[in-house]
Amino acid sequence: MDVLAANRLARAFYADVYAGPHRPPNLARFTFLDDNAHRFYPDWGLFADTCVAILRTEAGRNPHDKELHDLVGELSTRSDEFRGRWSAHNVRHHGTGMKTFHHPVVGRLTLAYEGLEMAAEPGLTLTIYAAEPGSPSEQALRLLASWAVSQETDSRPRALSTD
């Protein structure tokens, strides 16, 4: 659930995830340890269930992964919601579908997603999100892309004027 790479739009989309203290940003930590997740995921319970099921799948794929054990331990000790879901032992392949989000800048987005597993790196997935052409979600993504550029521009160092 680590976010290892993202383009500018994805960074803007997951701004609250990137704002957290952990590097790399982690969607499981965000889901269970950040209050902003309940706003970002309108159907938080479904996202939480899916998140835990994906972690369970990864634990089955690589039962000796120390970083995953550490993450599960951290979430288990810090989140009752995680602990209860983890004990259910559900697993899930996260492949394709639709998700709804509520972004703090552009509001509600309903996006299709596709998870592309990297054959050369088991456990590594490239996730692609797309909005239906002409939809309010597409308009919101365009606005978010524009906002991301403005944020990047605003944060660059500026020369001081000496006039």
3-state secondary structure of 124: coil
Report the topology of domain 8-154.
Answer: Beta-Lactamase (3.30.450)
Per-residue pLDDT tens digits for 86-115:
998 777 666 788 999 999 999 999 999 998
Integer-rounded Cα radius of gyration of the chain: 18
Residue 116 has pLDDT above 80, yes or no: yes
pTM above 0.75, yes or no: yes
Dig out the tokens for 120 from the structure.
């050369």
